Structure 1
């Protein structure tokens, strides 16, 4: 039969950590099949199910003879150490991959909950979501310098930065305001070691 309007080419875009080969192997595009018969919805579901690193994927027909896979990968905002490896957590609190080596520039989460009402009320997952919320609110410069996000309770979240600097953040509330206040404090006192924005209307700075 004619090769016109049959699948002959597969193109993949948007991959960063995943490889094109991995994505195309899972997609299992039926090369040689009529383009119109390809079930793009089933392919998208399969990709998201088998490759949890994928946040969104669009499978598109590229007439006359191609299928395009447009991938957006999840980005880690926090890492959780587990058995010598690292679980990547995205901005929605989804644990989506386990890697042997910590990716650069992604802070480690230390969940050290005190047996408190907040732990009973929010649970470990709730505290993880608060940590993710804080990580997402950090000014870009601070996010780059953040090594550890430590969560002791719902309203006791702190950050450990490069050069042994510590930020007392408090709860995840008012994150945008705290971020602005912290950026201003760091500009005004670049050599300070301790920053407290837990009450952003009354922030504090100290040498160490």
Structure 2
């Protein structure tokens, strides 16, 4: 073989190698394009599958798994009520899915307890229901017939004291069958009394919404009328207390009388 023939053969081999490399690169590029096309076709399907799987897992965890079921009912804010009373009223079923608890229903049932002024109910993930109670605050003892009941600032009677009422609260005396409106008026009157007057009041006598009077510890009577202008009436009464009279009438605070 001549030198020229050998050189030509070498060049042909190199050319063949270059062609082979180009062909491999072409095949790899083609394979990548084919893979990308398949991926683009299957990508939405895979996304849907993943979403469905995640949704199925969430549904299972929320509704069927014991991991997110009610294991306890936490109750806060109690003073006169017992936790057992609130739990019975709430009627939250343990081991039910936490997501399925009827929070509004629980709230209504607990709010129906007389000592409850307001209540908030919430889910505490992963496995508790929280009931936050605000109880009514007594401002007076309502003596209704022979019963002693707690009276709040809205005129709601909510607790039976039995035969022993707590000391330090003014007493409201009223006959059985007194309307809720009359009790609300009495509560408004008591709320308007300054401490200097409250301490000399033996009890508040309530007949109707317009027939409210104070009986003082020294036996004197204060005719109050309705709860209208109670703040002004309290100021007028304070100025008239030193008077040596048996009856003070502040039902019309602009024209008080005494006798």
TM-score (norm 2): 0.59
On the 8 A contact 2:233/2:253 being kept in 1, the answer is yes
More strand by share: 1
Alignment deviations for residues 97-117 of structure 1 (CA, whole Å, 9 cap, x no partner): 3330323333332347xxxxx
Aligned residues, how many?
193
On the 8 A contact 2:178/2:208 being kept in 1, the answer is no
1:69 aligns with 2:131: yes
Q: Which deviates further from its counterpart, 176-185 or 193-202? A: 193-202
Alignment deviations for residues 154-203 of structure 1 (CA, whole Å, 9 cap, x no partner): 555322345656544343221121233445666xx599997654443455
Query: Which among 179, 202, 205 is matched to residue 150 of structure 1?
Result: 205
On the 8 A contact 2:111/2:118 being kept in 1, the answer is yes
Q: Paired residue for 1:159?
A: 214
1:175 aligns with 2:238: no
Looking at structure 2, the residues matched to 167 and 145 of structure 1 have their Cα atoms a distance apart, in angstroms, of 12
Q: Which deviates further from its counterpart, 26-35 or 137-146? A: 137-146
1:60 aligns with 2:115: no
Alignment deviations for residues 79-107 of structure 1 (CA, whole Å, 9 cap, x no partner): 34346431333333333333303233333
Q: Which deviates further from its counterpart, 20-29 or 85-94? A: 85-94
Gaps of 5+ in 2: 1-63
Q: Paired residue for 2:33?
A: none
**Partner-residue secondary structure (3-state), 1:4:** helix
CA apart distance, 1:3: 4.0
Q: Paired residue for 1:139?
A: 194
Q: Paired residue for 2:35?
A: none
On the 8 A contact 2:156/2:183 being kept in 1, the answer is no
**Partner-residue secondary structure (3-state), 2:80:** coil
* Structure 2 CA distance for partners of 1:66 and 1:144, relative to 1, 3 Å: farther
Looking at structure 2, the residues matched to 70 and 128 of structure 1 have their Cα atoms a distance apart, in angstroms, of 28
Higher relative contact order (CA 8 A, sep 6+): 1
* Structure 2 CA distance for partners of 1:60 and 1:193, relative to 1, 3 Å: farther
Q: Paired residue for 1:41?
A: 104
Looking at structure 1, the residues matched to 245 and 75 of structure 2 have their Cα atoms a distance apart, in angstroms, of 48
1:109 aligns with 2:172: yes
**Partner-residue secondary structure (3-state), 1:36:** helix
Gaps of 5+ in 1: 113-122
On the 8 A contact 1:78/1:108 being kept in 2, the answer is yes
More helix by share: 2
On the 8 A contact 1:105/1:145 being kept in 2, the answer is no
Query: Which among 7, 14, 21 is matched to residue 77 of structure 2?
Result: 14
1:128 aligns with 2:193: no
Q: Paired residue for 1:119?
A: none
Query: Which among 93, 108, 121 is matched to residue 155 of structure 2?
Result: 93
RMSD over aligned CA atoms reads 3.4
